[in-house]
Chain A
Amino acid sequence: GENVEQHPSTLSVQEGDSAVIKCTYSDSASNYFPWYKQELGKRPQLIIDIRSNVGEKKDQRIAVTLNKTAKHFSLHITETQPEDSAVYFCAASEGKTSYDKVIFGPGTSLSVIP
């Protein structure tokens, strides 16, 4: 089955700097890659996603890139703000459709220092 790895496990950045989180996946058949943000004590929230037929996607200060050949994808957050502090999870879906079977990475704890 699918295995998703994520690095780094913790990340501290100064407010205004950029943050990059990288993930790799094992199943070349995976076709959908969502990213989630989870604040302390709260439920995960889908923040951005990318399909396997797209190389990059942006939404305001966040962007995701995908390299299918290398089987890795990354989350980029620019102009970080204290409210970006949270745990971020990448995931990969190995099912026939986006949500058939979504497997999560272990998470990255991001701290934005004011």
Chain B
Amino acid sequence: NAGVTQTPKFQVLKTGQSMTLQCAQDMNHEYMSWYRQDPGMGLRLIHYSVGAGITDQGEVPNGYNVSRSTTEDFPLRLLSAAPSQTSVYFCASSDTRDYQETQYFGPGTRLLVL
């Protein structure tokens, strides 16, 4: 199993550009989430999904869109990049199996918006 993969690892954007951060998991997990982590701070939930075709907003959804057309993939789209979106973005995949929660984070995407 590759676990949770994220691409790209690092990206530089100019203000106003759009891009998609990719996230994929091969564990057949139902739940997937996107978080952003600013320097020296905790993780803030952007969007999450409890299954294919279902998404919902987290704490800081503005400026981001998501879709979940398959169980495996959960891309995050930045509509019009702003310097305030400079951050490290983590995707997480989670599920409950035999009453035991499992959760894995991807390696992260470092985004710099100039």
Contacts and interface: CB of A to CB of B under 8 A. Distances in A.
Contacts of B45: 101-104
Interface stretch (B18-26, B62-70, B71-79, B101-109): B101-109
B41 A106 contact: yes
Interface string A72-114: 0000000000000000010000010111111111110000000
Interface centre among B44, B45, B108 (most CB of A within 10 A): B45
Given A97-B96, A101-B58, A44 B101 contact: no
Contacts, number: 58
Given A34-B101, A44-B43, A98 B90 contact: no
Contacts of B96: 97-99
A43 B105 contact: yes
Interface of B is mostly: strand
Given A98-B94, A100-B48, A101-B56, A106 B42 contact: yes
B106 A46 contact: no
Interface residues of B, number: 25
A19 B106 CA distance: 28
Interface residues of A, number: 21
A99 B90 CA distance: 15
Given A1-B59, A89-B43, A104-B43, A98 B101 contact: yes
A25 interface: no
A107 B103 contact: no
A104 B90 CA distance: 13
B40 to A, nearest CB: 8
Contacts of B27: none
Contacts of A105: 42
A1 B101 CA distance: 23
Interface string B36-50: 000001111100101
A28 interface: no
A45 B41 CA distance: 16
Closest 3 CB pairs of A and B: A99-B31, A99-B94, A43-B105
Interface of A: 1, 32, 34, 43-46, 49, 89, 95, 97-107
